[in-house]
Chain A
Amino acid sequence: MKFPALRTYAYLYLLFLYAPIILLPIFAFNDGTIIAFPLKGFTVEWFRQMAANTTLRTAVENSLIIALSSAIFATTLGIFAARAATRFSFPGKAGIIGLIMLPLVLPEIIVAVSLLVVLLGIGVTLSVFTVILGHVLICTPYAIAILNTAFNALDRSLEEASYDLGETKWSTFRLITLPLVMPGVISSLLMSFTISLDEFIIAFFLAGNEPTLPTYIFSQLRFPKQIPMIMALGTCLVAASIVLLTIAEYFRRRGIAKTGGTDTGGFL
Chain B
Amino acid sequence: MTTRPTMIEFQDVHKYYGDYHALRGINATIKAGEFFSLLGPSGCGKTTLLRTIAGFEDISSGAVMIDGKHMEHVPANQRPTNMVFQSYAIFPHLTVEQNVGFGLRREAGTTEEKARRVEEALEMVNLKGYGRRAAHALSGGQRQRVALARALILKPKVLLLDEPLSALDKKMREQMQVELIKLQRQVGITFVLVTHDQEEALVMSDRIAVMFEGEILQLAEPEVLYRRPNSRQVAEFIGVMNFLPAFVLGEAGDTVQLEVAGLGRVDIEAAQSTGRATDGTVSVGFRPETLTILYDGQKAMDRETPGTIEEVVYYGDMTYYDVRLDGVEKVVRISMRNVFGRPVLEYGSRTRVAWSAGALVLFR
**Residues of A at under 8 Å CB distance from B?**
155, 157-158, 160-168, 176, 179-180, 258-261
Contacts and interface: CB of A to CB of B under 8 A. Distances in A.
B85 interface: yes
Contact of B77 (A157, A163, A180, A259): A163
Nearest to B85: A157
Nearest to A182: B93
A176 B91 contact: yes
A155 B87 contact: yes
Interface in B78-98: 78, 81-83, 85-87, 89, 91-93
Contact of A260 (B85, B92, B151): B92
A259 B136 contact: yes
A166 B103 contact: yes
Interface string B284-306: 00000000000000000000000
Contact of A160 (B89, B93, B102, B150): B89
Given A179-B93, A259-B92, A164 B105 contact: no
B85 A161 contact: yes
B93 A180 contact: yes
A17 B102 CA distance: 50
- Chain A interface mostly helix, strand, loop or mixed? helix
A164 B83 contact: yes
Contact of A157 (B87, B103, B150): B87
A165 B103 contact: yes
Interface of B: 54, 56, 76-78, 81-83, 85-87, 89, 91-93, 102-103, 105-106, 134-137, 150-151, 154
Contact of A158 (B89, B103, B136, B154): B89
B284 to A, nearest CB: 45
A118 B93 CA distance: 46
B225 to A, nearest CB: 30
B77 A258 contact: no
B89 A166 contact: no
A179 to B, nearest CB: 5
A163 B76 contact: yes
25 contacts: A160-B76, A160-B83, A160-B85, A161-B83, A161-B85, A161-B89, A161-B91, A162-B91, A164-B54, A164-B77, A164-B82, A164-B83, A165-B103, A165-B150, A165-B151, A166-B103, A166-B154, A167-B105, A167-B106, A180-B92, A258-B92, A259-B92, A259-B93, A260-B134, A260-B135
Contacts of A258: 92-93, 134
A155 B151 CA distance: 18
A160 B82 contact: no
A183 to B, nearest CB: 11
B93 A162 contact: no
A93 to B, nearest CB: 16
A168 B76 CA distance: 9
Contacts of A259: 92-93, 136
A143 to B, nearest CB: 22
Contacts of A165: 77, 82, 102-103, 150-151, 154
Contacts of B136: 259-261
A21 to B, nearest CB: 37
Given A165-B150, A167-B106, A155 B76 contact: no
Given A166-B103, A166-B106, A260-B136, 20 more contacts: A155-B87, A155-B89, A157-B85, A158-B89, A158-B91, A160-B85, A161-B91, A162-B102, A163-B76, A163-B77, A164-B81, A164-B82, A165-B103, A165-B151, A165-B154, A168-B77, A260-B92, A260-B134, A261-B92, A261-B136
B121 to A, nearest CB: 13
B64 to A, nearest CB: 16
Nearest to A159: B89
Given A166-B154, A176-B91, A160 B137 contact: no
A109 B50 CA distance: 55
For the complex of A and B, 9 pairs with smallest distance between CB atoms: A260-B136, A165-B103, A161-B89, A157-B89, A259-B92, A157-B85, A259-B93, A166-B106, A179-B93
A261 B83 CA distance: 24
A264 to B, nearest CB: 15
Interface centre among B82, B85, B151 (most CB of A within 10 A): B85
A164 B78 CA distance: 8
Nearest to B138: A260
B135 to A, nearest CB: 8
Given A259-B136, A260-B137, A160 B91 contact: no
Contacts of A179: 93
A106 to B, nearest CB: 36
A179 B134 CA distance: 15
A168 B106 CA distance: 10
Nearest to B102: A165
Contacts of B93: 179-180, 258-259
A251 B161 CA distance: 36
A258 B102 CA distance: 18
B142 to A, nearest CB: 13
A131 B305 CA distance: 94
Contacts of A155: 87, 89
B46 to A, nearest CB: 16
Contacts of B105: 166-167
B323 to A, nearest CB: 48
B98 to A, nearest CB: 10
A181 to B, nearest CB: 11
Contacts of B83: 160-161, 164
Contacts of B92: 180, 258-261
